[in-house]
Structure formats: structure tokens, C-alpha cells
Amino acid sequence: MASCFSYALVSVSDPGIVGSQRLTMRERSSETYTMRLGKPVITRDIPQEDRFEVPTFLKETGVVAW
């Protein structure tokens, strides 16, 4: 199964998490959505995001946009 690293996050309470999480490209993952779209994707409000499933660690660390 493919995976990727996350590098750019906004409002993260744990700066050490950037570049350290490997995200699995599941069917409804943001990573798969981005690859299929073929261009960068911006999420301005994670609680309102419905295009894909947002990884739990993003919500748990206080990320509100990415």
C-alpha cells in the first residue's frame, strides 16, 4: 500500500510531528484525493471537510487547516 509524508501543517501544537507521520493512502484519505485530483488541496476548516477523511492525528494535535 502506498504512503506519503506530511510536511506543511498550520496551527499544530506539536511541531515535531511535521515530516514524521507516514500517511497511508486509503480510498477516502486526503492523500488519495490529492493524487487523483492532480494538484494541491487546501483544507481551510478541518471540522467541516467532507471531500475526504482527515487523519485523526491532525485533529488531535489541533490542526485546523492544511
Most confident of 12-16, 19-23, 37-41: 37-41
- Note whether residue 26 is domain-resident: yes
Q: What percent of the chain has pLDDT over 90?
A: 5
- Note whether residue 66 is domain-resident: no
- Note whether residue 35 is domain-resident: yes
User: Per-residue pLDDT tens for 6-18?
Assistant: 545 544 566 666 6
- Note whether residue 10 is domain-resident: yes
Question: How many CB atoms within 10 Å of residue 58?
Answer: 23
- Note whether residue 16 is domain-resident: yes
- Note whether residue 15 is domain-resident: yes
Number of domains in the chain: 1
Instruction: Report yes or no: 33 and 39 within 8 Å, Cβ to Cβ.
Output: no
